[in-house]
Amino acid sequence: MARYGMVMDMRTCVGCQACMAACSTENQTPFWSEKFRTHVEDKEQGVFPDVRRVQLPRLCMHCENTPCLSACPTGATHMDKNGIVLVNYDRCIGCYACCIACPYDARYAYDGEDVDKERELYGKNVSHEMPHVDKCTFCVQRLAEKLEPACVATCPTHTRIFGDLDDSKSEVHKLARSGKAQPLNQGLGTSPKVFYIPS
C-alpha cells in the first residue's frame, strides 16, 4: 500500500505540452474536443518591463479530503488503497456535482459524442465505453505494471516527479516533507497530494 503523489518543479517546465499528448494517447482522452486530464497553464506575471512567463502544469490533485468524493451521490468517485481518486465509469450518472465541487478544474464530461469519436479512432480497443465524468488516474494501469504515469515518463525536463509520499527514500517525500514543494489552495483544507516547487 502506497500513498502516491506528485511534485511539479515549475523552475524547469518549458510548456512543451508533451505531458498532455502522452496522457491523451495513453488514456484515450478526447483531445478532439480539447478535453485533457492534464493541462499546462501559460501565465504572464509582473508589469512591463518586469514581466515573465510561467508554466504551471496541473492535473487532479488526488486530495486526501476530496470535495468531489463527497459530492458524488453514486459512489462512482472513490479513493483506492493507494490514495488515488478514481471514477467507476459503470456507476457514474454524469450529474456533474463532482465537476462543480472540484476546486482544481480536474474533471470533464466524456460525453456521448466523445465515446462515438473514440470508437471511430480506436476501434475495439476503447477505454471509455460509455459517457461518464473523466479525470486523471495517475495512470493506474501503468502503475500496475511498475511504470510511471505517462506524463511523468514523457516529461523531458523532469518537471514531474512521481512517487510514494510515505516512502522516506522517495524524492516526492523529501520535497514535500522539506516544505520546498507546497500544494495549491491549501486554505481549502483539501490536502492535495500534488505539490509545486515555485519558479
Partner 1 sequence: MTFVHQEVWHWQIATYLFLGGLGGATFAISAIIHLFEGCDRKMVSVAVMSSIAFLVIGTVFLLADMLQPLKAIYALTNPKSWIFWGVVFINFYFIAAITYVIPLLEAWPKLEPFIRKIPEPILGLLERFNNLAALGGSAAGFLVAIYTGLLISAAPAINFWNTPALPLLFVISGFSTGAAFLLLLSTFSDNEGAHKIASRLEQLDAVLIVTELIILGAYFNFAMFLPTGARASAEFLFHSPVFIAGFFVAGLIVPLAIETYSIFFRGHGNEGRKSALPILVASSLVLVGGYLLRIYVLKAGMFQFPW
Residue in the structure block whose three cell numbers are 460509455: 130
| C-alpha to C-alpha distance for 62 and 64, rounded to whole angstroms | 7
| C-alpha to C-alpha distance for 77 and 98, rounded to whole angstroms | 8
Minimum distance from CB of 33 to partner 1 (Å)?
13
Closest-CA residue to 102 (of 160, 62, 43, 139): 62
Nearer to partner 1, 102 or 175 (CB): 102
Residues in the site for partner 1, rule: CB under 8 A?
41, 43, 56, 58, 67, 69-76, 91-97, 99-105, 109, 111-112, 130-133, 184-185, 188, 190
Minimum distance from CB of 185 to partner 1 (Å)?
4
Nearer to partner 1, 63 or 150 (CB): 63
Minimum distance from CB of 47 to partner 1 (Å)?
16
Nearer to partner 1, 97 or 161 (CB): 97
Nearer to partner 1, 21 or 56 (CB): 56
Maximum C-alpha span of the chain? 54
Closest-CA residue to 35 (of 132, 103, 140, 166): 132
